[in-house]
C-alpha cells in the first residue's frame, strides 16, 4: 500500500521516496499558471519600454511660460511691440533675422524697424539689397517700417563699425511710439533663442534693463542691448535733447567704443531703472572665453555649466572684442588665438573639457548659416 506523500516540502536525497515519486510533480492550479505567465509578460514589457526609452530620439521640451498666471491668449497684443533699428545693410540683415526668430517663436506682439529716412522701398535691381531687405521685413514678417532721421548717417551702405556705434542712439526713437503701452527694444547683433513676451508684463517702470555684468565690479552700469520701454512723449523729448548734447567719452576696450545710447540711458535711468536679470537677458558670447564666471553667475560657488547657461538664456549677444562681428571674416591666426581655451591641457593633443569652445563655435556657425538663409538674394519685379 502506497504511503501518502507530503507535498508541502521538496523531497530530500536519502528519503524513502522512489525516483518515480520524485518526478511526480503535482498539477498547478489555473490561477498559479496565470500569475506565472503574467510575471513573464510583465518582465518583457518592462524590458521593451526601457529599450524604447533609450533608443527613441530625444526631443527637448519647450521652456515653460515664465508667467503661467498671464492669459496670453487674452492679451491685446496690438498694445505691445518689439523694435530694433538698422543704419547699414549688414545690420538691416541682422534685424530681419531677429524678426524671423520672433515669428518662429510665436510672438504675437507687433514688430517695428527704425531705419534712415533716406532709404526707400523701391527695388531698382537685384543688387538693391537694402530695399529688398526692407520689403522682406514688411511682407514676410509684418514689420512696421519707421523711417527716422539719424544724425551722421552715411549714404554708403558699407559703413564703418564706428559709424554704427555712433548711430546707436536711433533706438531712442522707441520712446516716442506712444501708441504702445510697452516696447522691447533689441540690438540686432544677437541670436534670439526664446520668446521674451513676459517682459511686456513687468511692473510699471519707465525703463527696465540688465546690468553690463562684464564690467563688474569696477563699473555698475546698465546694458542697452535690451531695453524694456514705456513710451512717453516727455521722455522721448528729454532723450532727444540729450542726444544733441552727447559727446564722445573715452574708449573702453570692454565696450568696444563709447555708445551714445548706453551713456544717455545710464545718465538718465542709472539710479532708477528696473534691473532685469542678465542671466536670462544679457548673455554675451565673450563669457564662453572666460574661466572666471562669478560675475555672470552672481556666485563664487556655483558651477559653470555652459549647456545649462544656454538653456536659461533668452538670447546671446555677439561681443568678443577685439574679434569682429560674425558677419565679418576673421583672420585664422586671430581666431586660433581668441577662441575659448579647453579646461584641461589646453593647446596640446591631450586637451579636453572643450565644451565652452564647442558651444561658442556653434553659436557663430548657427548665426552665419541662418544669415545666408534669411537674407538670401531675393527676386522682386523691377519698378515700372
Distance of CA 206 to the CA centre of its chain: 25
Residue 208's DSSP bridge partners are: 228, 274
Residue 190, domain member (yes or no)? yes
- Is it true that the peptide bond before 228 is cis, omega within 30 degrees of 0? no
pLDDT over 50 (residue 6): no
What CA–CA distance (Å, rounded) separates 265 from 233? Answer: 16
Phi/psi at 330 (5° precision): -100, 140
Q: pLDDT (tens digit, 9 = 90+) per residue, 237-252?
A: 998 887 776 544 433 3
Residue 198, domain member (yes or no)? yes
Residue 17, domain member (yes or no)? no
Contacts 24+ apart (CB under 8 A), 299-308: 306/355, 306/356, 306/359, 307/355, 307/359
Residue 99, domain member (yes or no)? yes
Phi/psi at 47 (5° precision): -65, -45
Contact predicate 71/196, CB 8 Å: no
Give the three-class secondary structure for 7: coil
Residue 42, domain member (yes or no)? no
- Is it true that the peptide bond before 217 is cis, omega within 30 degrees of 0? yes
Q: pLDDT (tens digit, 9 = 90+) per residue, 273-289?
A: 999 999 999 999 999 99
Global pTM reads: 0.75
What CA–CA distance (Å, rounded) separates 182 from 244? Answer: 25
What CA–CA distance (Å, rounded) separates 60 from 146? Answer: 38
Contact predicate 259/165, CB 8 Å: yes
Q: Which residue's entry shows cell 538663409?
A: 373
Q: pLDDT (tens digit, 9 = 90+) per residue, 11-59?
A: 344 444 444 443 344 455 656 655 666 666 767 667 666 666 555 544 4
Residue 269, domain member (yes or no)? yes
Range of the domain at 296: 74-374
355 vs 19, higher pLDDT:
355
- CATH number of residue 116's parent domain: 3.90.550.10
Tally the domains of the chain: 1
Q: What is the arithmetic mean of pLDDT over 345-372?
A: 86
Residue 11, domain member (yes or no)? no
What CA–CA distance (Å, rounded) separates 93 from 370? Answer: 11
Half-sphere exposure of residue 182: CA atoms within 13 angstroms, side-chain side = 20
Contact predicate 227/237, CB 8 Å: no
381 vs 290, higher pLDDT:
290
What CA–CA distance (Å, rounded) separates 181 from 75? Answer: 12
pLDDT over 80 (residue 144): yes
Residue 357, domain member (yes or no)? yes
Contact predicate 26/7, CB 8 Å: yes
Count the residues in the chain.
384
112 vs 343, higher pLDDT:
112
Q: Would you give the DSSP letter of residue 191?
A: E
pLDDT of residue 36: 60
Phi/psi at 168 (5° precision): -65, -20
Report in angstroms the alpha-carbon separations of 170 from 135, 254, 264. 20, 22, 12
| Residue among 89, 146, 145 at smallest CA distance from 375 | 89
Name the grid cell of 277.
536679470
Contact predicate 215/224, CB 8 Å: no
70 vs 85, higher pLDDT:
85
| Residue among 349, 135, 181, 169 at smallest CA distance from 241 | 169
DSSP 201-214: GSPS-SEEE-B-GG
Give the three-class secondary structure for 286: helix
Name the grid cell of 336.
586660433
Name the grid cell of 120.
526707400
Contact predicate 189/284, CB 8 Å: no
Any residues with CB less than 8 A from the CB of 372 and at least 6 apart, and which? none
Amino acid at each position: 500500500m502506497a504511503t501518502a506523500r507530503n507535498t508541502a516540502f521538496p523531497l530530500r536525497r536519502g528519503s524513502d521516496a522512489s525516483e518515480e515519486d520524485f518526478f511526480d510533480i503535482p498539477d498547478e492550479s489555473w490561477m498559479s499558471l496565470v500569475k506565472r505567465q503574467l510575471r513573464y509578460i510583465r518582465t518583457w514589457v518592462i524590458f521593451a519600454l526601457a529599450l524604447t526609452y533609450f533608443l527613441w530620439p530625444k526631443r527637448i521640451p519647450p521652456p515653460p511660460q515664465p508667467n503661467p498666471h498671464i492669459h496670453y491668449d487674452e492679451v491685446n497684443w496690438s498694445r505691445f511691440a518689439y523694435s530694433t533699428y538698422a543704419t547699414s545693410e549688414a545690420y538691416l540683415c541682422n534685424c530681419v533675422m531677429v524678426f524671423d526668430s520672433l515669428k518662429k517663436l510665436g510672438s504675437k506682439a507687433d514688430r517695428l524697424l527704425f531705419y534712415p529716412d533716406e532709404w526707400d522701398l523701391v527695388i531698382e535691381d537685384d543688387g538693391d539689397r537694402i530695399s529688398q531687405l526692407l520689403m522682406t521685413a514688411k511682407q514676410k514678417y509684418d514689420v512696421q517700417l519707421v523711417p527716422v532721421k539719424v544724425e551722421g548717417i552715411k549714404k554708403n551702405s558699407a559703413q564703418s563699425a564706428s559709424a554704427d556705434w555712433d548711430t546707436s542712439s536711433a533706438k531712442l526713437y522707441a520712446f516716442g511710439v506712444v501708441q504702445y503701452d510697452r516696447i522691447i527694444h533689441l540690438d540686432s547683433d544677437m541670436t534670439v533663442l526664446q520668446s521674451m513676451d513676459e517682459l511686456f508684463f513687468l511692473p510699471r517702470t519707465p525703463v527696465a534693463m540688465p546690468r553690463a555684468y562684464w564690467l563688474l565690479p569696477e563699473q555698475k552700469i546698465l546694458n542697452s542691448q535690451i531695453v524694456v520701454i514705456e513710451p512717453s512723449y516727455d521722455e522721448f523729448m528729454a532723450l532727444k535733447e540729450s542726444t544733441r548734447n552727447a559727446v564722445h567719452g573715452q574708449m573702453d576696450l570692454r565696450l568696444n567704443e563709447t555708445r551714445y545710447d548706453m551713456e544717455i540711458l545710464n545718465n538718465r535711468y542709472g539710479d532708477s531703472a528696473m534691473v532685469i536679470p542678465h542671466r536670462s537677458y544679457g548673455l554675451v558670447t565673450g563669457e564662453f572665453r572666460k574661466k572666471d564666471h562669478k560675475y555672470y553667475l552672481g556666485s563664487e560657488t556655483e558651477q559653470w555649466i555652459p549647456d545649462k547657461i544656454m538653456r536659461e538664456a533668452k538670447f546671446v549677444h555677439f561681443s568678443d572684442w577685439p574679434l569682429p562681428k560674425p558677419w565679418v571674416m576673421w583672420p585664422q591666426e586671430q581666431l586660433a588665438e581668441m577662441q575659448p581655451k579647453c579646461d584641461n591641457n589646453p593647446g596640446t593633443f591631450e586637451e579636453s573639457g572643450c565644451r565652452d569652445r564647442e558651444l561658442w563655435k556653434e553659436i557663430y556657425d548657427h548665426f552665419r548659416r541662418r544669415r545666408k538663409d534669411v537674407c538670401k538674394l531675393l527676386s522682386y519685379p523691377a519698378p515700372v
